[in-house]
Structure 1
């Protein structure tokens, strides 16, 4: 594995491990300042944004990390310590589901997500910790790139950039950071204004509004006194009957209150702008999607996250030599769990006879438990190894050891008949 590292807690909130005298700000080719600030207005505070991010994060958290090794066109499942960490408990505070959920939530909330790789004294990886900071800065010291985090409480953490899994979204202008969610703020402000308008309209429609006209001339102080008495008697919340009484000295004239509210179609159009920003739709958020809609969501949203995670974890966790031997961390998902029963039955019926699925793998597709001996593969006799297909073709000759099949059968039967050859011809 990688070189020996100090533990997380020896760095957290302690002296920054960046040599001050050698520290220089990392230079971007496009002259961007290498500092990322979390955008002032928190989009995650919006219920619509939170629902959209939750729909993505809860499905991405179902991805299964695996340590594999690709060798000679074969894929071997290695398993081991790293896979156990990522599939069970990446750190002492989070389950594997919570870990991936938080990482993806940070990615979509800030368009940047950092995960600290905690190495023990012996260089063995002991855990993975998502880092949620308000300011992130890149600095160089002695030709080494460092990341400096400043948290909301003023505490700081600094470590080498190679010690972090770094995921980005809207990766455009900056050489190192994803863009902020500033582009979404006008839509969120519109949603906030709409919500406030609806709340104010409901409040205003609940009040009695009007003018009291007195038939006699009253002094100003008497007018105010009578008005205050009327308000106290009839416009208090305790007057739940909504009835006001006046004598012949005064007449009440109601002022019609007709608050304007946005209609459902307009509100839906505003919400749809948020969903488009996250490349999803309302059916994904409300879990009312069809099989095809789920597949589109997986391919356009979840699968790119899985690829990004796989590439970054592989590069940061394995040395160049280990990568050369085919070691990878991949994140995969059982896409068939969202397929209809018709699709599942059709797939098992069509590909299981080819020896592609074991009995237990077929049972897993239908959410059934494993059985003893279920790891065996079954295959129909109607298929044949492609390299031997010519031997089973009627009317074609195939040489073996310098003689044709016909010649070989002549030698075996002695009478030139086909003998058992025809009986060995399989179905095609």
Structure 2
């Protein structure tokens, strides 16, 4: 495996020009602020990335008869276990979605050798220009934080976008939330400063003796050092008859809980999540709404982009795709699980091992499907209704319904 720095090579010998697009120029520049340093914004992004990193990416082949099968096992291992020597599949997806919500753009380089995908690498850049050659091929001119620049074919870059509006290639910058993040930071600083100043001393010192300007300045600095600095944790100043100290009442500005909650809600709304998702106190309905509004959209975007960048158009036309499953995310509490099993198991919808997996229990050696005798296949029901109507098929079907359910849900007596 080549080193990471060797993967990004500038393609020499090709003539390129800036990619002409409508709207905003085809240029990405990382958000000038640092929203990730704010605890509220980071907690929201982390909640989304932690959940979305559970996606299960699987190469599949869909046949013309509607059936499907898993594709290349080697590619499946890259997508599900180790996309590159530096990280796991969870790490790759976590970083990809973190970059997406921080910058509204995220990049993953698809490294190929001999036409086969051998690695997937997240690319963290500070700037990107798009160019195209005379043949119409698009390239990404990445500039990294260390100032180094690399060129990659856009065909080999998995590019997820958020707030995709004013440009043809890039998602819009995160400037819209800059004021909200700044407000949250000011609130944090205000609380910190209020705590610091609450135990400090403020007042006016009146010296009863006449002093020179230099001596007065020296006495003032000594008083400030001894009593007004943050090191004076006692909050008491001792004076003699040579001076008079008049304290000034301090009323530090405090931030109400309502104001803090409003700022949190502003940031969380921008990210599309609720506070219950961040602190993991969500109900079934709350997680269901989050799953439908955020998770399913991310899964669809991921599935489409991975498919079109990993496979060629001919392979896609032949039925190959990357399936992005959210099965590892679906949340349901124990009471609802029992309710689901009470309905699904008797109908034969799920197997015993599927039921055990739903309850978090180990599987049995020989999986099987069980079903209540109160349920029958649609074909048997049709035949049974014809049999009950006595339409001449009695002699040929009479043996098929021994033990079959009656309309009232009970079983026939085979000896009757």
With the length of structure 2 as denominator, give the TM-score of the two structures: 0.89
Structure 1 unmatched ranges of 5 or more: 1-5, 399-403, 410-418
Would you say 1:405 and 2:393 are equivalent positions?
yes
* Deviations 1:73-100 (CA, angstroms, capped at 9, x unpaired): 3333346111111111000101011011
My pick for the range that moved more, 343-352 or 328-337, is 328-337
Structure 2 unmatched ranges of 5 or more: 408-416
* Matched ranges for 1:112-131 at <5 A: 112-120=105-113, 122-131=114-123
The alignment partner of 1:373 has SS state of coil
Q: Distance in 2 between matches of 1:185 and 1:233?
A: 41
* Deviations 1:336-389 (CA, angstroms, capped at 9, x unpaired): 762111111111221123332111111110111121002x22233333332342
Which residue of structure 1 aligns with residue 268 of structure 2?
275
Q: Distance in 1 between matches of 2:104 and 2:72?
A: 31
Q: Distance in 1 between matches of 2:132 and 2:399?
A: 78
Would you say 1:333 and 2:326 are equivalent positions?
yes
**Matched-pair contact (CA < 8 Å) for 2:205–2:246:** yes
Identify which of 379, 383, 397 aligns with 2:375. Answer: 383
Which residue of structure 2 aligns with residue 412 of structure 1?
none
The alignment partner of 2:58 has SS state of strand
The alignment partner of 2:370 has SS state of strand
Which residue of structure 2 aligns with residue 296 of structure 1?
289
Residues matched between the structures, number: 404
Q: Distance in 1 between matches of 2:265 and 2:314?
A: 48
Change (3 A) 1:332 1:277: same
Would you say 1:427 and 2:378 are equivalent positions?
no
Q: Distance in 1 between matches of 2:180 and 2:329?
A: 36
Deviation at 1:170, TM superposition (A): 0.6
Q: Distance in 2 between matches of 1:24 and 1:7?
A: 29
The alignment partner of 1:201 has SS state of helix
Q: Distance in 2 between matches of 1:202 and 1:238?
A: 14
Which residue of structure 1 aligns with residue 73 of structure 2?
80
Deviation at 1:326, TM superposition (A): 2.4
**Matched-pair contact (CA < 8 Å) for 2:130–2:141:** yes
Q: Distance in 1 between matches of 2:28 and 2:400?
A: 75
Which residue of structure 2 aligns with residue 416 of structure 1?
none
* Deviations 1:94-116 (CA, angstroms, capped at 9, x unpaired): 10110110111111111111111
Deviation at 1:423, TM superposition (A): 4.0
**Matched-pair contact (CA < 8 Å) for 1:67–1:330:** yes
Identify which of 3, 8, 11 aligns with 1:17. Answer: 11
Change (3 A) 1:25 1:201: same
Identify which of 343, 361, 370 aligns with 1:368. Answer: 361
Would you say 1:209 and 2:208 are equivalent positions?
no
Deviation at 1:296, TM superposition (A): 1.4
Which residue of structure 2 aligns with residue 66 of structure 1?
58
The alignment partner of 2:285 has SS state of helix
Would you say 1:132 and 2:111 are equivalent positions?
no
My pick for the range that moved more, 249-258 or 194-203, is 194-203
Q: Distance in 2 between matches of 1:239 and 1:113?
A: 49
The alignment partner of 1:211 has SS state of strand
Change (3 A) 1:311 1:422: closer
Q: Distance in 1 between matches of 2:110 and 2:384?
A: 57
Q: Distance in 2 between matches of 1:192 and 1:336?
A: 32
Q: RMSD in angstroms over aligned alpha carbons?
A: 2.5
Q: Distance in 2 between matches of 1:10 and 1:193?
A: 39
The alignment partner of 1:140 has SS state of strand
